[in-house]
Amino acid sequence: MSAQFEFGLNSFGDVATDGGREMTDAESVRLLIEEAQLAESVGLDVFSVGEHYKDKSVDSATPVVLAAAAQATSTIGLGTSVTVLSTQDPVRLYQEFATVDALSNGRTQLVLGRASAVESFPLFGYDIAQYEELFEEKLDLFLRLMYEDRVTWSGKHRASLDAVRLHPRMPDGGIPAWIGIGGSPDSVIRAARNGLPLMMAIIGGRAERFAGHAELYLRALSSFGYPEMPIAQHSLGLIADTDDAAKSAHWEYWEPVVTQISKERGFYPPTAERYAEEVDTGALYVGSPETVARKIAAIARANHLSRFDLKYDITHLPRDVRERSIRLFGEQVAPRVRELLEEDAEPWRETGRPVVEIVKGGKAVHV
């Protein structure tokens, strides 16, 4: 399993600081490209950018950012932390990501979600009351566009299509597309029903509580006649040379962001005690390389993971702290996690049974 376990970086385009100065939006966009290059240089597998429409985030035009990253890198996968499919036009989305895939020579992927932040609904004129209906209809159309050569389609929320063939073309079968979930069993079943890999966004509480979702997904895949597919986890964190340095740096910038979100969404503001609990036993992956590696390895076992994505940026987190975290994640955490998972795999090797079955490019392979 260790050789195939993947590591990704997720950015929400958070504006950074540099020497105490808030970077401009333009500088923050260019920083994303530099960080994609850095992620590739330290051996990470995927660099992903989100989609947000709020102050201090610069990821509203994700395909443009990924197209630039495609030209600045050569091997790393390029994806979305989540694409808010509910407020996207599937035709345009297909064309944008077919273009990015061409520019990257086949390195592009997507995580499709319904949105936890809903700023895009009023911005683009959609009714939040149609949250579920929009996603279902647009997912159906997008998958048909990826899987079929010519598409005839009609629905409620966009113009009908009559034998449409889009250009530029994606490869046969489209590009890898994951379903992102935040905890809804219905979303788990949707991913399995459509035969798509599962990305679990776990940003608070004990991450092990999602083990039931992973097991439900695997059972549902089997019931729908699909082979096992990858399960990934997206979580927040920061890596520094010591546990204390990581926690101190992360808390300083995490606390004001979560305090603001708590006011907007009506939950309890963060406290130092709750933060320490999240770091120790919850879904924050903050600490030294060894601490974070052991925590990732443990959750990989519990949640049946074949990939872990670290959301590494926070509003105003200094660029040098971001850089150090990326370096440590690729150079020390990833190989250490693989080493820990390799130890788990040894008893299986003795039996001659396959260690794991994962899906690469839509095909199941034994490792």
- Using one digit for the tens of pLDDT, what is the confidence trace for 224-251? 999 999 999 999 999 999 999 999 999 9
Q: What is the mean pLDDT of the chain?
A: 93
Q: How far apart (Å, rounded) are the C-alpha atoms in residues 46 and 94?
A: 20
Q: What is the pLDDT of residue 361?
A: 37
Q: What is the pLDDT of residue 356?
A: 39
* 6-366: CATH topology: TIM Barrel (3.20.20)
Mean pLDDT calculated for residue range 268-278: 94
Pairing of strands 198-201, 161-164: unpaired
pTM: 0.92
Mean pLDDT calculated for residue range 287-311: 98
- Rg over alpha carbons for the chain, rounded to the nearest Å, is 20
For residue 358, pLDDT over 90 is answered with: no
Q: How far apart (Å, rounded) are the C-alpha atoms in residues 252 and 259?
A: 12
For residue 31, pLDDT over 70 is answered with: yes
Q: What is the pLDDT of residue 355?
A: 40
Q: Is 86 exposed, middle or buried (0-12, 13-18, 19+ CB in 10 A)?
A: buried
pLDDT digits (tens, 9 = 90+) for 145-185: 999 999 999 999 999 999 999 999 999 999 999 999 999 99
pLDDT band at 350 (very low <50, low <70, confident <90, very high): very low
- 8 Å CB contact between 151 and 145: yes
- 8 Å CB contact between 28 and 315: no
Q: What three-state secondary structure class fits 244?
A: helix
Q: What is the pLDDT of residue 366?
A: 35
For residue 13, pLDDT over 50 is answered with: yes
| From 147-156, 262-271, 274-283, the region with the lowest mean pLDDT | 262-271
Per the structure block, which two tokens stand in for 80? 């979305």
First to last CA, the chain: 7
Task: Pick the more confident residue, 334 or 1.
Answer: 334
Omega prior to 347 cis, within 30 of 0 = no
For residue 348, pLDDT over 80 is answered with: no
pLDDT band at 267 (very low <50, low <70, confident <90, very high): confident
Share of the chain above pLDDT 90, in %: 88
Mean pLDDT calculated for residue range 204-228: 97
Task: Pick the more confident residue, 359 or 92.
Answer: 92
Q: What is the pLDDT of residue 6?
A: 98
